[in-house]
Structure 1
Amino acid sequence: MEYRTKEDQVADFLRERIISGVIARGSRLKQAEIAEQLNLSITPVREALKLLEAEGYISTDSYRGARVVPFDASASSEILTLRLLLETQLVRAAVEKITAQDIAELRQLADEFAKAFESGDRATARGVNYRFHRRMYDIACMPQTLHFTQILWARYPFDIINAAENRGQDAVAEHDEILQALASGDVTAAMLAMRKHIESGWTVLKSAR
């Protein structure tokens, strides 16, 4: 990931923590604290926050500074449709470029996800889940598609989905299915497995409303 700019790395660091719940929705983000935590200057942190604001993860004003916005609990079927379109295309491209080393890295992340859910550590599981999907989509080398996918993630209530009783077990099995398709180079199976994974989470969301 060395090719990515410092602001991109900071933005990814914050996205993962927002989606995982480590940084609570509504929390204030202080540039100086983030810079100190990451041992960076203020400049890449400031630029990362601008990027996250453009994507919809945070809001800023001159009085309250930067704050994490709430998930959209009323996420519409339009977001589902767009996620299905974009993320299956990212998977399709990943199948064409993936290496054995990539598969090994994704398998390690999938195993970490399963272990975190089994131990009841939902925040860690959500963070690892973010890294699993982000790593897979990085392999696709479709930066614009990934950018729009991340905008959709900012509006999606992953916290509600992952709080469901059996969601962890289902997600573990779905990750395995995706990895098997990637490892075998089966484009159709990989796209169908990702579609199933996203739709399964949507089903959980609808039942939780």
Structure 2
Amino acid sequence: MRRDIVSGELPAGSRLKTQELAQRYGVSINPVREALHQLSGEGFVLLSRNRGARVRPLDEHFVRNIFDIRVLIESYLVRFAIEHATEADLRQMREIQRRIDDLVGDQVELDRLDEEFHGVTYGRHFNGEALAIRQRHGQVVHALAMRYPASPARRVTQNAEHWAIVEALEKHDEAAAVRVVEQHARGAERHLLERLRQGSTTPKSF
């Protein structure tokens, strides 16, 4: 269902009726209801007592809102990482990033490694709610990235920003860390908005 929402098979604003979805996916009603609640939590579905479930429009307004929150949360999380990231964490981040540097063309693996990199960066933080919000929004961003994959130039920039995050953590440079995570998020936002406007889609299974 997530795939069909992102690809446009289930259009923005369309009603999501449990009986029809159960027939579409060949399952019973209960798994459909569970999926709708999960997708609501991830931001793909709007649930209303009066109007039922609808596909959320994945438009520019929605993307901007997500990245505004992402900038605030990641700036907050990285300040904690400056003081609490261990040498083992930094070694793991370097190893993950080397694998990202060597990766060619596999968007699914790229997204998995990207999330692993940031998971190590922020994983020691005590605020589970902030981490949960970041993860939930990250699922939306990664899903959109499947439809609007990063250009080669953007990937080069992303890689450089990841290395800059590692360097800032190594130096315990809070100002640099905050600056680069903000730059990282805003760069991803600009690129995704540009792709949305261009409509250059490359749907893939995930």
TM-score normalised by structure 2 residue count: 0.66
1:49–1:110 distance in 2 versus 1, CA, 3 Å:
farther
Distance 1:150 1:50, change over 3 A: farther
Segments ≥4 residues shifted beyond 6 Å: 48-51
Partners of 1:193 and 1:178 in 2: CA distance = 6
Task: Tell me the residue number matched to 2:90.
Answer: 103
Q: Tell me the equivalent position of 2:129.
A: 144
- Per-residue CA distance 1:16-50 (angstroms, 9 max, x = gap): xxxxxxx971399xxxxxxxxxxxxxxxxxxx979
How far is the alpha carbon of 1:52 from its aligned partner? 4.0
The alpha-carbon distance between structure 1 residues 114 and 185, as it changes in their structure 2 partners (threshold 3 A), is same
Deviation of the 1:127 alpha carbon: 1.1
Aligned to 2:3: 25
Aligned to 1:5: none
Q: Cα offset for 1:86?
A: 0.5
Match of 1:87 in 2: 74
Within 5 Å, which residues of 2 pair with 1:64-79?
72-74=58-60, 75-79=62-66
Code of the aligned partner of 2:132: H
Q: Answer whether contact 2:81 2:124 (CA < 8 A) is retained.
A: yes
Q: CA deviation at 1:55?
A: 2.5
Alpha-carbon distance in 2 for matches of 1:172, 1:184: 19
**RMSD (CA atoms):** 3.2
Per-residue deviation, residues 190-209 of structure 1 (Å, max 9, x unmatched): 01110000111111112212
**Alignment partner, residue 41 of structure 2:** 55
Number of positions where the alignment pairs a residue of Structure 1 with one of Structure 2:
162
Conserved 8 A contact 2:42-2:136:
yes
CA-CA distance at 1:76 after TM superposition: 3.3
Is the 2:78–2:122 contact (alpha carbons within 8 Å) kept by the matching residues of 1? yes
Matched-pair contact (CA < 8 Å) for 1:107–1:179? yes
Query: CA contact under 8 A between 2:150 and 2:191: conserved in structure 1?
Result: no
Alignment-mate amino acid for residue 189 of structure 1: A
**Shift in CA distance, 50/95, structure 1 to aligned 2, threshold 3 Å:** farther
Deviation at 1:77, TM superposition (A): 1.9
State the AA in 2 paired with 1:108: E
Match of 1:76, SS state, is helix
* Match among 77, 95, 102 for residue 115 of structure 1: 102
Task: Indicate which of 171, 182, 188 corresponds to 2:169.
Answer: 182
Give, in whole Å, the separation in 2 of the partners of 1:51 and 1:104: 38
1:122 CA displacement: 2.3
What amino acid is aligned across from residue 58 of structure 2 in structure 1?
D
Q: 1:140 to 1:120 in 2, by over 3 A?
A: same
Deviation at 1:57, TM superposition (A): 6.4
Q: Structure 1: give runs of 5+ residues left out of the alignment.
A: 1-22, 29-47, 60-68
Deviation by residue 1:80-102 (Cα, 9 ceiling, x = unmatched): 21110011111111111111011
Equivalent in 113, 117, 134 of residue 119 of structure 2: 134
Structure 2: which 5+ runs fail to align? 6-20, 22-33, 46-54, 198-206
Q: Which moved more, 1:193-202 or 1:121-130?
A: 121-130
Partner of 1:38: none
